[in-house]
Amino acid sequence: MKRYITGLLLAGTLCASCSDFLTQTPEHSLTMENSVTSYSGAQNIVNGIYGVYEKSSNLGGYLYGSLHCMAGLWRYSSVMYNMGYTQSGDEYTINAIWNQLYGCINAANAAIIGVSGLPDSEFPSLEAKNALLAEARCFRGYCNLELLWLFGHWFAAADSPYGILYRDQTAESSNLMVERSTVGESYRLILEDLEFAEQNLGDYESALRMSKQFAQAMHAKLLLIRGWDGDYAEALGLVNTLLTQSPVTFRMETDLARLYENGWNSNEVLFSRYLGDMSSYTAYEFIYSYGLFYNNEFTDYPQSWLEADERFDVIFGTARAPETWDTRTKDKVLTKLYHRGRYEGKNDMYATYAFRFAELYIMKAELLARTNPLDISGALAPLNEMRANYTNPVMDAITGITTHEQLMDAIYKEYVVTLFMENESSWFASLRFEKDGKPWINTLKPEVNFNENHYCWPIPDREIMAHSNPIEQNPELK
């Protein structure tokens, strides 16, 4: 039977149902019989994964903005802020992110199957073949990790039934009806892909491609967020390796303004959604190029931290409205991501920042604080090392920390201020770090009634309805 490669599917073109989306034959699709017949064909099908990812318009500002709302750091979306999402709510963002992540996984699976099936003799070396497989598997592992973080009980024990729907075949109606994996099985499958990438991928050259270092970074982040027995020590080892053994091309950008001006071309950015070769980047980054202007105020704690920080004048600025008819300007717009907006800055560097070098220092500080809580000065040192690296702006060292509680508050604050709206780290930090004996999220939005079951989204209704053998929805989200 002929299998159709959906690796070149433009993920922004969604169909009426999840089943339809995942099995749609894209324009200019290639068949498995003729798509990967040479080394260049193998390279092309791996390159196709990036095309799907680049055009997945919700896997950037929409995703990270939603998580900042859930954390209580921003109020852009009342549904996300109040955690009022349900299976039958038909929340557009949730459905789109689900479809787009599986679109990327589908493209990765097509590449893995196509490259695996090509004889070794067609490649310059076995290492070259494994490198292409590792690139595709890194993509698949990363997207499955995002699915677990967003739609699964990533915080639960290994035997929890609320893991991911793991798919390792190109999508057809005959193989879509997979059961949910347990949480432990989900982590195992994700780590298998990331570890294969760590062993077979090349070193970082730019944020435009997957790399060995990105696989290591996401491996470390998984362990830090999961927090099972032994995870912190293992994550600390990975972070230390990245800090000491990464190629010189991956490094801190000492001029913070240049980091955001360069976007995906900055050597601090480990991986980014590259939005080049398009007529208008803003079509793929609505929150960054639009939403941040009309919703430029954040909740009390992050707003006060950001305004008091030395980086404020670099990452905030005055900007024009994104609408043609609206000529107003506003101060205190998060211009590190909004840039000039979709009217004046249609083709500015609207990049995403899945991971950048500065985060390694913050992770190291937290991991040291959790593995050796009595060594306050040792855990504080990575934060001050990061701050000392900046020349624009020049930053003072953090001083006056004498207790473990003060240390953890300082680390949490650094996650929020350094990485604000850039990736998922502030969301998870708001759950891991505590204030007055409860996760910070409770302090950030005390008026919202929620529990752990609301730390993930519901599996979309269309996916539930498409299964002939019912899959179990996440608790309290039906």
Query: Backbone phi, then psi, for 155, in 5-degree steps?
Result: -90, -5
Contact 108, 135 (CB under 8 A): no
Residue 393: C-alpha distances to residues 254, 269, 278, 311, 388 (Å): 8, 19, 32, 6, 10
Residue 278, pLDDT score = 64
> Among 7-11, 98-102, 354-358, 474-478, which stretch is predicted with the lowest mean pLDDT?
7-11
Query: Backbone phi, then psi, for 5, in 5-degree steps?
Result: -80, 125
How far is residue 11's CA from residue 308's CA, in Å, rounded to a whole number? 40
How far is residue 148's CA from residue 31's CA, in Å, rounded to a whole number? 30
Q: pLDDT tens-digit profile of 284-322?
A: 899 999 999 999 999 999 999 999 999 999 999 999 999
| Residue % of the chain over a pLDDT of 90 | 83
How far is residue 8's CA from residue 4's CA, in Å, rounded to a whole number? 10
Residue 30, pLDDT score = 44
Residue 405 clears pLDDT 90, i.e. is over it: yes
For residue 117, the surrounding DSSP H or E stretch is: helix 92-117
Residue 35: C-alpha distances to residues 2, 43, 414 (Å): 12, 11, 47
Q: pLDDT tens-digit profile of 314-371?
A: 999 999 999 999 999 999 999 999 999 999 998 899 999 999 999 999 999 999 999 9
Q: pLDDT tens-digit profile of 34-78?
A: 479 999 999 999 999 999 999 899 999 999 999 999 999 999 999
Q: Give the long-range contacts of residues 342-349, CB within 8 A, separation 24 or more.
A: 342/280, 342/282, 342/289, 342/290, 344/319, 344/320, 345/282, 345/289, 346/280, 346/281, 346/282, 347/280, 347/281, 348/281, 348/289, 349/260, 349/261, 349/262, 349/263, 349/264, 349/265, 349/281
Residue 177, pLDDT score = 79
Residue 165, pLDDT score = 95
Residue 103, pLDDT score = 95
Residue 20 clears pLDDT 50, i.e. is over it: no
DSSP helix/strand/coil, 317: strand
Query: Backbone phi, then psi, for 342, in 5-degree steps?
Result: -75, -10
**434 pLDDT band (50/70/90 cuts)?**
very high
The answer to pTM > 0.85 is yes
Residue 88 clears pLDDT 90, i.e. is over it: no
**178 pLDDT band (50/70/90 cuts)?**
confident
Q: pLDDT tens-digit profile of 240-271?
A: 999 999 999 999 999 999 999 999 999 999 99
| Residue % of the chain over a pLDDT of 70 | 91
Residue 273, pLDDT score = 86
Residue 115 token pair: 């490259």
Residue 478, pLDDT score = 83
